[in-house]
Amino acid sequence: MMLLVGILAPLPVPAAPLRTGPVLVLGDSLSAAYGIPIASGWVSLLEARLRAAPAPREVVNASISGETTAGGLARLPKLLAEHEPALVVVELGANDALRGLPIAAPRENLRRIVEQIHQSGARVLLLGIEIPVNYGPQYRDSLRAMYRDLAGDFKLPLVPFLLDGVALDPDLMQADGLHPTAAAQPRLLDNVWPALEKALQP
């Protein structure tokens, strides 16, 4: 049985040689600048930073409000073929979790997303999310473990919580308590930047 498990476990994929294509962000409302001007969103701020870098790089924001891991998986092949990204930033799972879906479903979708990105020759950066405490500690722990385990299995860079330092500050969250304000977006970029900058190194 141990041998069988070893065979079925995902094989670590070494980082692909860095391509010249764009950074593709595959996300949901947290990356689609929900409720704020598009130009204020963290992905737009990232685009401005990369445009001013010594080696400028384009950013393609393929994030859609309400997107799930299943939706991202369905859209991914066309996005990979069209843009040939160097790096795909995957920010999905929040809407699966808010619907209370069994963790096995988004975990499998994310696994397939990562595999398809690697097969395309691009690198992956995984962004984790957290959900409100009323979902219970067991579900929240399972969600955290999902991102951590995927990152470990595939040797991916991981930002454990995109909204770290933001989610519990009412001044940085919109009235719905789920989406960050425009003022919070630089902090989101700061959370992502160290891992993203490293992922873009040759």
Q: Which of 31, 118, 120, 179 is catalytic?
A: 179
What homologous superfamily does CATH list for 30-199?
A: SGNH hydrolase (3.40.50.1110)
Q: Which pLDDT score is estimated for 15?
A: 64
Q: In what order do the strands lie in the sheet with 87-91?
A: 59-61, 23-27, 87-91, 123-127, 158-159
* Cα angle 44, 76, 65; round to 5: 50
The dihedral over CA atoms of 10, 111, 125, 69, expressed in degrees to the nearest 10, equals -170
Q: Which of 28, 29, 63, 120 is catalytic?
A: 29
Buried b (16+ CB within 10 A) or exposed e, 102-121: ebeebbebbbebbebbbebe
* Beta-bridge partners for 60: 24
Report the helix count and the strand count for the chain, using DSSP H and E: 7, 5
Please tell me the pTM assigned to this model: 0.91
Q: Which of 118, 169, 176, 190 is catalytic?
A: 176
- Whole-angstrom distance, CA of residue 87 vs CA of residue 124: 6
- 176 counts as catalytic: yes
The pLDDT tens digits along the chain (202 residues) read 333 333 344 544 556 788 889 999 999 999 999 999 999 999 999 999 999 999 899 999 999 999 999 999 999 999 999 999 999 999 999 999 999 999 999 999 999 999 999 999 999 999 999 988 888 899 999 999 999 999 999 999 999 999 999 999 999 999 999 999 999 999 999 999 999 999 999 8
Can you read off the two tokens belonging to residue 29? Answer: 């409302």
Q: What phi, psi does 173 have (nearest 5°)? A: -115, 145
